[in-house]
A and B are shown apart, each in its own frame.
Chain A
Amino acid sequence: MIDSTIVRLTFRQLLGQKRTILMAAFALLPVLIALLVRVSADSGDDLQELTASVVLDVLVVGLLLPFTALVFGTAALGTEFEDGTAVYLLSKPIPRATVVLSKLLVAWLATVGVVLISALAAGLITIAGEPQDGIVLGFAVGVVAGSLVYCAAFIWLSIATSRALIVGLLYVFIWENVVVGLFEGVRVFSIRAYTAGIAAIFMDVPDRVFEADLAGGVAVAFAIFIIALTTWFAVRALSRWEIGEAS
């Protein structure tokens, strides 16, 4: 189901110099803010709440994770459609499911590589000296799972539309940050809500410290469902992919 040549090629393609520098710089942001929070925190501040609800939930899960997954998820296959090299990959006797799963694996590992390190560093800096109560562990597991859901969705988008980056940005910033905030019922269609719900499974904290929008079981079930659905859509779209006039 996974082709090692595709994995190797995609890693080399994704981790080009500019993209890696950009993502590394972006990953530093939550860590720098965590340092600022610690430096400016006074004795009245609840460091557990700052760690879970601000640094990890807002900065890492709300911003760094979807943005990183969007960059790697849409680039894993999307750049090959743009520059015309997809023809070389698709003119080989490889099942389209293998292509999609190999690309998904690379996008996921690249996203986890960036986001997990940032989440661990930012979480541990902010909460240093306080009881963790599963906060850092929960968000670590949450971002690993959330990365997979986002990447599966964005890889599908990159096959289905040539404007995957714009559609992905609209999903993250309009749907997840505005629409989901306004209408509680649509939370089941928010990858961010799944990530937070999975993270909360591992935490033993009061609601004032962190409260997820979805129960753990519901979050896990929807995450698995969306991964399976978008991967299936991606395989289907790739099987029907047609070369463009300019390709």
Chain B
Amino acid sequence: MNEPKSPAVEVTNVSRWYGNIVAVNDITFSLSAGITGLLGPNGAGKSTMLHMLAGFLRPSAGEVRVLGESTWGNPEMYRRLGLVPERESVYPFLTGYEFVLESARLHKLPDAEAATTLAIERVDLQSAMHRASGGYSKGMKQRIKIAAALVHNPEVLLLDEPFNGADPRQRLQLMELLRQMASDGKTIVFSSHILEEVERLAEDVLVIVAGRLAASGDFREIRKLMTDRPHTFVVRASDNRRLAASLVADPSVYGVELRDGTLEVRTSEFAAFTHAVAGVARRNDVSIFEIRPTDESLESVFSYLVKR
């Protein structure tokens, strides 16, 4: 495990455009064994990136290599690669067991039945495996798709929004399964637009915004960047002017503005400001009626990372 290994996934200056629309713009990264989260808002280019990794889209420029080989136009690659697509569709006329078994047979596995049983056990779907998959819930479909993708025990597993539709218990179970696979030396890449999912599972993260790689690396570092970015709070207090005068002296605040009966406070240190504001108000005998951040949407967090 400690031997230095060449990266399992190598993406070099990859772009992908559809006519005039640039979906992925000059992205470079490499990944080794472990779990990597591909984080970004909807439409950021995550699926395009995953599909290029999976060999289902040809890069318009640059090169994608998985386990040292190009994935585009290389079906043999799928012996070592598994893909869980985002779309829910499964063959509705097959039972869950048949769906995974046919995947095992298409992989020409020597003991397809045993591999099928094992894969279904890993996603904990034994109780429903003989039901037609067309009648499965969203979460069950996700799990049977994952079982089909890992039936051949791939070295690299790509998952597009794998937790969509899963309930909290199933989500934890899937996360545990992916952690196990990562500890077995597999390379797992999953996309998500939900920060908490990535935070709970991924060791490394790639933040994609508007087709560009906005940040990459250890999740804790990126989380810190997101938290320490400039924030604007709207405050409504019993005496906005007095509170503004005191807040401007606080080192966590770099700007205040009085407008239409409210106070806008700009801070570069989220945590320090939220700790300081209550004390400042108390010392000045000012009551705070409302305090809210103005730009906490995931999109604004991402766009900050892009502008850096």
Does A218 make an interface contact (CB < 8 A)? no
> Which B residue's beta carbon lies closest to that of A96?
B75
Does A5 make an interface contact (CB < 8 A)? yes
Q: Could you tell me if A93 and B89 are in contact, using CB atoms closer than 8 angstroms?
A: no
Q: Could you tell me if A90 and B89 are in contact, using CB atoms closer than 8 angstroms?
A: no
Q: How far is the CA of A214 from the CA of B108 in the complex (A)?
A: 45
When distances are taken between beta carbons in the complex, the residues of chain A under 8 Å from B3 are: none
Q: Could you tell me if A93 and B78 are in contact, using CB atoms closer than 8 angstroms?
A: yes
Q: Could you tell me if B89 and A83 are in contact, using CB atoms closer than 8 angstroms?
A: yes
Q: How far is the CA of A6 from the CA of B91 in the complex (A)?
A: 13
> Which A residue's beta carbon lies closest to that of B89?
A84
Q: Which of A8-16, A59-67, A181-189 contacts B (4 or more CB under 8 A)?
A: A8-16
When distances are taken between beta carbons in the complex, the residues of chain A under 8 Å from B85 are: 84, 87, 247
CB within 8 Å for A3 and B56 given contacts A87-B83, A93-B75, A94-B75: no
Q: How far is the CA of A84 from the CA of B54 in the complex (A)?
A: 15
Q: Could you tell me if A89 and B93 are in contact, using CB atoms closer than 8 angstroms?
A: no
Q: Could you tell me if B93 and A12 are in contact, using CB atoms closer than 8 angstroms?
A: yes
- With beta carbons under 8 angstroms apart, the residue of B76, B78, B102 that contacts A9 is B102
**B87 → A minimal CB distance (Å):** 4
- With beta carbons under 8 angstroms apart, the residue of A83, A88, A96, A242 that contacts B103 is A88
- With beta carbons under 8 angstroms apart, the residue of A83, A90, A239, A246 that contacts B56 is A90
Q: Could you tell me if B93 and A242 are in contact, using CB atoms closer than 8 angstroms?
A: no
Q: How far is the CA of A140 from the CA of B82 in the complex (A)?
A: 46
Does B79 make an interface contact (CB < 8 A)? yes
CB within 8 Å for A243 and B51 given contacts A87-B56, A87-B85, A92-B75: yes
Q: How far is the CA of A12 from the CA of B77 in the complex (A)?
A: 28
CB within 8 Å for A239 and B73 given contacts A5-B102, A13-B93, A87-B85: yes
Q: Could you tell me if A91 and B83 are in contact, using CB atoms closer than 8 angstroms?
A: yes
Q: Could you tell me if B91 and A85 are in contact, using CB atoms closer than 8 angstroms?
A: yes
Listed A/B pairs (10) with beta-carbon separation below 8 Å: A5-B105, A6-B106, A9-B94, A13-B93, A88-B91, A91-B81, A91-B149, A92-B75, A239-B73, A242-B56
Chain A residues close to B by CB (< 8 Å): 3, 5-6, 8-9, 12-13, 16, 83-85, 87-96, 239-240, 242-243, 245-247
Q: What count of chain B residues pass the 8 Å CB interface test?
A: 30
B236-273 vs A: 1/0 string, CB under 8 Å?
A: 00000000000000000000000000000000000000
> Which B residue's beta carbon lies closest to that of A95?
B75
When distances are taken between beta carbons in the complex, the residues of chain B under 8 Å from A90 are: 56, 75
When distances are taken between beta carbons in the complex, the residues of chain B under 8 Å from A12 are: 91, 93-94
B58-88 vs A: 1/0 string, CB under 8 Å?
A: 1000000000000001011111011101010
> Which A residue's beta carbon lies closest to that of B87?
A84
Does B130 make an interface contact (CB < 8 A)? no
Q: Could you tell me if B89 and A85 are in contact, using CB atoms closer than 8 angstroms?
A: yes
- With beta carbons under 8 angstroms apart, the residue of A16, A87, A94, A95 that contacts B106 is A94
* Interface pairs A-B: 7 shortest CB-CB: A84-B89, A84-B87, A243-B56, A92-B106, A5-B105, A93-B78, A93-B79
CB within 8 Å for A9 and B91 given contacts A93-B78, A93-B107, A94-B75: yes
> Which B residue's beta carbon lies closest to that of A12?
B93
Q: Which of B94, B103, B106 has the most CB of A within 10 A?
A: B106
Does B44 make an interface contact (CB < 8 A)? no
**B143 → A minimal CB distance (Å):** 15
When distances are taken between beta carbons in the complex, the residues of chain B under 8 Å from A16 are: 93
**A118 → B minimal CB distance (Å):** 26
B86-127 vs A: 1/0 string, CB under 8 Å?
A: 010111011000000011011110000000000000000000
Does B57 make an interface contact (CB < 8 A)? yes
**B139 → A minimal CB distance (Å):** 18
Does B148 make an interface contact (CB < 8 A)? yes
